[in-house]
């Protein structure tokens, strides 16, 4: 499964309007995940923010929630894997910023196209010290069930997502393979340049069809 498709599936899961299944077993990780989903829905359903003139405000609000949901530094470190150790502090910070921007823009682009009809079932939650897995299942309009697991860890009193596994395939692992190939065939500097180019595309065509097409 390509990273872009995995982002789409994860975003749909984050934006479903109807949730099913009992919640008596749910602990802090699930409840914090659900709370942020509710906030995203509030933004999407706000009549004022639906106006095209408020698109920038709407996207900024969704981005802020994404920053509270994902641990982008942990995501970045796990994605770079062995390449993380050889990077300077400046290089690490630049990569985290650019990678977070890529994920956030994919998240926002896809979530704004959500039209309803999917359902999410919260299947279970596993805790192991400071680590947790929230297991969910996306039920599409046609009845197809797609398992999605949110891997989270606790930072102070917050539970943050550092990976999403879709149908058994890790989002981090997908990007790791893609980025490792670029680094081995070219260089880490080239990877940064490509991510910077993606960011520039987003800044110059924010919300436009050209940008959405480039991220498919």
> Domains in the chain, ordered, with CATH?
3-214 (3.10.450.710)
Question: CB count, 10 Å around CB of 56?
Answer: 10
What are the structure tokens assigned to 75, written together?
């995501």
For β-strands 131-139 and 18-20, DSSP reports them as: unpaired
**Tens digit of each residue's pLDDT, the chain (216 residues):** 555 555 545 554 554 433 444 443 457 899 998 888 788 878 888 889 888 899 889 989 988 998 899 999 999 999 999 999 999 999 999 999 999 999 888 877 777 665 566 677 888 999 999 999 999 887 877 888 888 899 999 998 899 999 999 888 899 999 999 999 999 999 999 999 999 999 988 777 554 433 443 433
What are the structure tokens assigned to 108, written together?
């926002």
Give the closest residue to 64 by CA, choosing from 45, 36, 92, 44. 36
Pair 139, 121: CB distance under 8 Å: yes
Listed in sequence order, the residues at least 6 apart from 28 whose beta carbon sits closer than 8 Å to its beta carbon are 154, 159
pLDDT at position 30? 92
pLDDT at position 185? 97
Phi, psi torsion values for 70, nearest 5 degrees: -105, 140
Distance CA 174, CA 75 (A): 12
**What length does the chain have?**
216
Rounded to two decimals, what is the model's pTM? 0.78
Residue with tokens 């985290």: 96
């Amino acid at each position: 499964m390509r990273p872009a498709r995995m982002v789409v599936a994860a975003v749909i899961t984050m934006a479903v309007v109807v949730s099913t299944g009992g919640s008596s077993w749910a602990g802090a990780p699930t409840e914090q995940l659900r709370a942020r989903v509710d906030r995203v829905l509030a933004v999407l359903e706000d009549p004022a923010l639906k106006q095209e003139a408020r698109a920038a405000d709407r996207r900024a609000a969704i981005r802020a929630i994404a920053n509270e949901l994902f641990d982008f530094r942990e995501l970045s470190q796990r994605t770079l894997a062995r390449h993380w150790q050889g990077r300077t502090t400046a290089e690490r910070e630049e990569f985290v910023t650019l990678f977070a921007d890529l994920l956030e823009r994919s998240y926002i682009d896809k979530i704004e196209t959500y039209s309803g009809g999917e359902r999410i079932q919260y299947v279970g939650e596993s805790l192991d010290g400071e680590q947790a897995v929230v297991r969910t299942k996306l039920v599409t309009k046609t009845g197809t069930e797609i398992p999605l697991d949110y891997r989270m860890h606790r930072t102070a009193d917050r539970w943050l997502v550092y990976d999403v596994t879709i149908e058994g395939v890790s989002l981090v692992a997908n990007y790791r393979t893609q980025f490792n190939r670029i680094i081995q065939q070219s260089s880490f500097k080239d990877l940064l340049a490509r991510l910077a180019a993606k960011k520039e595309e987003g800044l110059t065509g924010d919300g436009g069809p050209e940008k959405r097409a480039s991220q498919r």
